[in-house]
Amino acid sequence: MNPDERRRRFEAVAPAVVDAVRRYLARRTDAATADDVLQETLLVCWRRLDDMPAVELLPWAYGIARLCLANAERSHRRQNRLVARILRLDPPGAVTRMVDDTDGELAEAMARLRPDDVELLRLWAWEDLTPGEIATVLGISANAASIRLHRAKQKLRDELRKHSHPGGHEELTEGRRP
Amino acid sequence: MTDDDDLRSRLRRTDPAAGLTPAAPEDISNLLEKTMTTAVVRPRFDTRLLTMAAAVIVLIAAVGGFLVTRPQPSSGPSQPVAAPVTTELAAPPAANAKCIEPTAAKLKEYADFAFAGTVTGISRGTVTLAVTRVYLGKPVTEVRVAQEGYSSETLMGSGRFENGLDYLVASNEGGILVCGYSGEATAPGLQELYDEAF
């Protein structure tokens, strides 16, 4: 592919990728990190344009964004550790929690799940991906994605049920976040 | 509506990106332009390049072999005491240097030679670096790198070797690892990556 063709191809697909990856990142990190990682993701997409699939383009791009974000977060954690060492303070928590004022039960149920399960549910509900597409993002088999997603949904339902019917554990609900 | 639909709808109502306004078209254009001008495409693997590289390696081996095995002249000026121990690296990056996120583990896995050095000269497309520290591989005092066109431009920092600047360079089978694994020593995170890897 000559340079002009590359540019044309990239310019044709990139706006959709930018929009989708912006949303993907806004759901998972702060605005400043999202901007940096979006730029990095585009750079990698541009460099790997020859590997870009004709179908399932967005899951492919999400997969790249996921790795770039993990890299940025590792770097942040390193910086946090350094700051903590210097200031003798605990580093801030790296977990991005779902903040929701309208559905506290769901937020709490999600917070009790394993991060891997939460991510599967986000990809399914927020990015609107099929198990096959989730498999592309996470680099696992479609079968594994399907099974894990099914289990994650079940775990979330269980957590929601427990929350709705706490039985003898009323004290647990008293400290519920607004 | 199935249980799945209910659950999905409930999750969607908590989507933090639901209120995200679309990026302005001019912002997207600027972003794309920046991307396409910052990142330069690595050349496709070219058999002509392979042939040339093989020829260069044979030549280096022949010259090196001759220099090592030739009889020392009994008279004449003596060799400098601190003759540099030199290694040569090709500009095109190794085939396995894909632009995925750089990690210390991958650096350690990919690299068979890594060093810190200062560019002491650039002449006719060849960059000479004085080695200040060898992280991995045989100890050398000097490394020569071919700087050809755009093939070195994915180095961290300015993208090209520049005279007088310090660099951290890793290579695999004689090809420089780019994509975040080599570059100016002051590039953010690069020194930490090397410290962690080696």
A127-143 pLDDT tens trace: 999 999 999 999 999 99
CATH number of the domain to which A104 belongs: 1.10.10.10
CA dist B109 and B111 (Å) reads 6
Shared-domain flag, residues A104 and A92: no
ipTM of predicted complex: 0.77
For chain B positions 156-185, those within 8 Å of chain A (CB to CB) are 179
Q: Phi/psi class of residue B115: alpha, beta or left (left: φ > 0; alpha: ψ in -120 to 50)?
A: beta
Report the residue of A9, A17, A22 to disrupt the B interface, i.e. the one with the largest count of B CBs within 10 Å: A22
Q: What is the pLDDT of residue B36?
A: 83
Domain count, chain A: 2
| B59 CB within 8 Å of a chain A CB | no
pLDDT-derived band at A165, boundaries 50, 70, 90:
low
| B133 CB within 8 Å of a chain A CB | no
A168: pLDDT strictly greater than 70: no
| A156 CB within 8 Å of a chain B CB | yes
Least confident of B27-41, B132-146, B165-179: B27-41
Shared-domain flag, residues A89 and A21: yes
CB contact under 8 A, B15 and A125: yes
Shared-domain flag, residues A64 and A141: no
Please name the residue of chain A whose CA is at the shortest distance from the CA of residue B19: A23
Least confident of A107-111, B80-84, B177-181: B80-84
* Average pLDDT estimate for B159-184: 84
In Å, how far is B51's CA from the nearest CA of chain A? Answer: 22
The domain B85-197 having CATH identifier 2.40.50.780: the answer here is: yes
| B15 CB within 8 Å of a chain A CB | yes
Half-sphere exposure of A1 (CA within 13 A, CB side): 17
Shared-domain flag, residues A7 and A79: yes
Facing residue for B15 by CB, picked from A22, A43, A126: A126
| B12 CB within 8 Å of a chain A CB | yes
Contact criterion met (CB below 8 Å) for A123 and A146: no
A91: pLDDT strictly greater than 70: no
In Å, how far is A111's CA from the nearest CA of chain B? Answer: 13
Q: What is the pLDDT of residue B194?
A: 92
In Å, how far is B116's CA from the nearest CA of chain A? Answer: 22
Record the tokens describing residue A109, joined without a space.
Answer: 């149920």
| A46 CB within 8 Å of a chain B CB | yes
Q: What is the pLDDT of residue A177?
A: 45
How confident is the prediction for chain B on average, in pLDDT? 75
The partner residues of B116 in beta bridges, in order of sequence, read B133, B168
Report the residue of A2, A39, A126 to disrupt the B interface, i.e. the one with the largest count of B CBs within 10 Å: A126
Residue A34: what are its φ and ψ, rounded to 5°? -60, -45
pTM (global) more than 0.95: no
CB contact under 8 A, A6 and B189: no
B84: pLDDT strictly greater than 80: no
* Average pLDDT estimate for B24-30: 88
CA dist A5 and B46 (Å) reads 19
A–B CB contacts, 8 A cutoff, strictly below: 99
**Domain residue limits, chain B:** 85-197
Tens-digit pLDDT profile for residues A55-81: 889 999 999 999 999 999 888 777 777
CATH number of the domain to which A37 belongs: 1.10.1740.10
Shared-domain flag, residues A138 and A116: yes
Q: Containing domain of residue A160, as a range?
A: 98-178
Of A42, A75, A96, which one is at a domain's C-terminal end?
A96
Residue A149: what are its φ and ψ, rounded to 5°? -65, -45
Shared-domain flag, residues A91 and A102: no
